[in-house]
Every structure is written in structure tokens, then in C-alpha cells.
Amino acid sequence: MAEESPEMKVSLRDPGTQDAQSGRKPDPQWNCSQRHYRLCIIVLGAVSLTLFITVIVLAGQHGKSPSADLCPPAGPACPDGWVGYRGKCYYFSVVEENWAYSQTHCSALNASLAGIDTRQDMDFMVRCKCRFDHWIGLRRDPGQPWKWANGTEFNNCGSG
């Protein structure tokens, strides 16, 4: 008994060509989808490339700008027993002497009696010691104006 097997015909064709047997043109919707697909691939590729280049450029700029631009550089550390404030080091001695001795002692430490240049400096001194029993770099000879240890005249408006 010989049975005929049904044949199945499969044909592969380019979607843009006309079917030779049926005479039908390809589905225009399929062509539209194919065009959209290609367009989407091109657009996504361009967007991806742009983002990639942007990330590389920004990473390069970040590497060039040191974090020191964002924060002021740390000054040298104050010696042990000294207190740092706004880039200055302060030493509060427990030795009770006169102004001249205190100035000489500071000079021996390569320092000078404290100058109070701003209101913030004054507030800092008050917070640290709560009372004014320490010498600062301000003095006055009889008949003369008040002067700082560096020779500049005292200005009651807050500048040294």
C-alpha cells in the first residue's frame, strides 16, 4: 500500500519582492514595520553612542578637577598643645607673666601674641577661655594709640 505523503511547500523569499506564484505584493504593513525597526535601531545606536561619549568626557573632567577645588586646603597642623582656628594656631599659656615676657616667650616659639582681626576671632577666644586673663598682641605706650604687636594701629572697627 503506497500512500502518498502530502507535500508541504516552503518557500523563502525576500519580503520586498513580489510572490511569483501568487502574484501578490508583499504586505505593506510588514515593510512599514521593517522601516520602523531599522529606524529604531539607528536612533537607539545614536543615543547610546552619545551617552557613552558624554560619560567618558565627564569622567575625564572629574579626574582633572581635584577635590581641593571644592574644599580649602588644610593648613599645617598646629603643634601639640596648640589650638587651631581659621588657619591660625593659638597657644594658651598657664604661666602668668607680664606683656613683655609673654611677647618674648611667643617670639621664642616663632609666634606672636594673638591679634584679634575679626569678630569671629574674638568669639573664638571667649569660647576657648571664657575670660580675658591672657595677653593679646595689643599694647599702648603712654600718650600713644593702641597698637598691635606687628606695629599696626588698633582700629576699633574690627580690622587689625
The per-residue pLDDT for range 71-93, each reduced to its tens digit, is: 555 666 888 888 888 888 888 88
**Would you state the torsion angle of the CA atoms of residues 152, 155, 158, 160, taken in this order, to the nearest 10 degrees?**
0
Instruction: Tally the domains of the chain.
Output: 2
Task: Specify if 124 maps to a domain.
Answer: yes
Residues 56, 90 within the same domain: no
Closest of 114, 108, 146, 149 to residue 128, by C-alpha: 114
Q: What is the pTM of this model?
A: 0.43
The Cα 135–Cα 116 span in angstroms is: 11
* Same-domain check for residues 47 and 97: no
3-state secondary structure of 11: coil
- 66 DSSP 8-state letter: -
34-38, 148-152, 156-160: range with highest mean pLDDT: 34-38
Looking at the fold, whether 43 and 93 belong to one and the same domain comes out as no
In-domain check, residue 2: no
Which CATH number is 123's domain given?
Answer: 3.10.100.10
Domain presence at residue 57: yes
pLDDT in tens, 104-147: 888 888 888 887 777 888 788 778 765 566 677 777 888 888 87
Is residue 156 assigned to a domain? no
C-alpha cell at 136: 593679646
55: in domain: yes
Classified as helix, coil or strand, 84 is: strand
Domain match, 53 and 98 both: no
Indicate whether 70 belongs to any domain: no
Query: Same structural domain for residues 42 and 90?
Result: no
8 Å CB contact between 81 and 124: no
Query: 3-state SS of 110-156?
Result: CCCCCCCCCHHHHHHHHHHHCCCCCCCCEECCCCCCCEECCCCECCC
Q: Cβ distance 95 to 104 under 8 Å?
A: no
Residue 42 domain boundaries: 30-62
Domain assignment of residue 54, yes or no: yes
Do 104 and 137 lie in one domain? The reply is yes
Domain membership of residue 158 (yes or no) is no
